[in-house]
Structure 1
Amino acid sequence: MQVILKADVNKIGRAGELLTVSDGYARNFLFPRGLAEEATAGKVADLKERQKHQKAKEERLRQEAEQARQAIQGKTVRIEATAGENGKLFGSVTAAQIAEALEAQHGLKVDKRDIKTADAVKQPGNHPFTLKLYPGVVAEMVLSVAVRGA
C-alpha cells in the first residue's frame, strides 16, 4: 500500500515522503496514530505540487545566499573592544558581537551560530572567520578588532 507520511517516522521516512508499506503496518500502526494517510491520486498530485514549490523556494534562497556571498566575500568587519595595558582584550569578541557588527556595517542579518572563528578572539588585530549563509554557501571574511580609545 502506498502512503504519504504526515510526520517523521523513525527508520521509515520523513514527513511528506511517498512510501510503499505493508497493508497491515499502514492500517494497524501508521493510520491510527495519524502518522500517514493513504496515497490517493489527488493527494499524490498535491504532494508533487508542494514538493515543486518547495524546490523552487530552496533554489531562490540558494541564489540569494550566493548573491550575498559575492557581495561580502573578503570584506572586513570592524569591532572596537577595551583592552588592558598589555594589549590583551578584556574577555573575547563573541559571535553575537560579530553578528551585530555585520548587520550594522553590511546590512546582513545572520544568526550567531552561523559564524565560525578559528579560535577565540582575545587579541586586537585581524582575524579570519567564516560565515555560513546557506547549506553549502560559505563566505570568508576578516574581523578587525581595534582597541577602544586607541
Structure 2
Amino acid sequence: MDIILKQDVKNLGEKDEVVKVKAGYGRNFLIPQGYGILATESARKVLAENLKQAQFKQDKIRKDADEVAARLEGVKLTIGAKAGESGKIFGAVNTIQVADALKNQGFDVDRRRITFNEDPKFVGEYTATLNLHKEVKVQVPFEVVAE
C-alpha cells in the first residue's frame, strides 16, 4: 500500500514523501492519525503540483536572499557600546543591536538569523554571520566602539 505522508514520521519518511507500508499499518494507524493519505492517482497529481509550487517559492526566496547577500558585500557596521577604560564592554553586543545597525543601513534582517563567531565583549572588530537562507550565509564585519 502506498501512502503520501502529510508530516514527518520517525523511521518511515518525511512530509510529502510516498512510502510503501503494510496495509494494516496504513489503514489502522497512519491514515486515522492524520499522518498520511492514500496515494491514489489524483492524490499523486495534487502532490506533484504542490511540490512544483513549493519549489517555485523556494527558488524565489533563494533569489531574494542572493540579492540581499550581494548588496551586503562591502558593508561595515559600527556599533557603539558603553565600555570601561580597559576596553571591556559593560554587558555585550547582541544580535538586536546588529539588526538595528543593519536596519539603519537599509537591510531588514531578522535578529534570529544573526550569529557571532565570538561574543563581542571588548571594543574591537568582529564578524557576524547572517543566515539569509539555508544555502546563503553572509559574513558582515562590524566594529564595536566605546561611546
TM (normalized to structure 1)?
Answer: 0.89
Query: Which residue of 2 is the match for residue 59 of structure 1?
Result: 59
| TM-score, length basis structure 2 | 0.91
- Report the alpha carbon displacement of residue 15 of structure 1 after superposing the two structures with TM: 2.2
Residue 93 of structure 1: how far off its partner (Å): 0.6
Q: Secondary structure at the match of 2:33?
A: coil
| Structure 2: unaligned runs, 5 residues or longer | none
1:16 aligns with 2:12: no
Counterpart position of 1:44: 44
Deviating above 3 A after TM superposition, structure 1's stretches of 4 or more consecutive aligned residues are none
* Unmatched 5+ stretches in structure 1: none
* 1:74/1:140 contact within 8 Å kept: no
Partner of 2:123: 124
Give 2:84's aligned residue. 84
Count of residues in correspondence between the two structures: 147
CA distance in 1, matches of 2:65, 2:113: 13
Please name the residue that 1:102 is paired with: 102
CA-to-aligned-CA distance 1:88-125 (integer Å, 9 cap, x gap) = 211111122111211222x2222323222221112222
Q: Could you tell me how far 1:75 is from its partner in structure 2?
A: 1.2
SS in 2 for 1:84: coil
- Which AA in structure 2 matches 1:33? Q
Deviation at 1:21, TM superposition (A): 1.4
- Alignment of 1:142 with 2:115, yes or no, is no
Mapped to 1, the partners of 2:144 and 2:104 lie a distance apart of 15
The letter of the residue matching 1:62 is R
Q: Answer whether contact 2:118 2:126 (CA < 8 A) is retained.
A: no
Matched with 2:29 is 29
Aligned residues: CA RMSD? 1.5
- Identical counterparts, % of pairs: 36
Distance in 1 (alpha carbons) for counterparts of 2:13 and 2:120: 42
Distance 1:93 1:123 in 2: 9
1: CA distance between counterparts of 2:137 and 2:37? 39
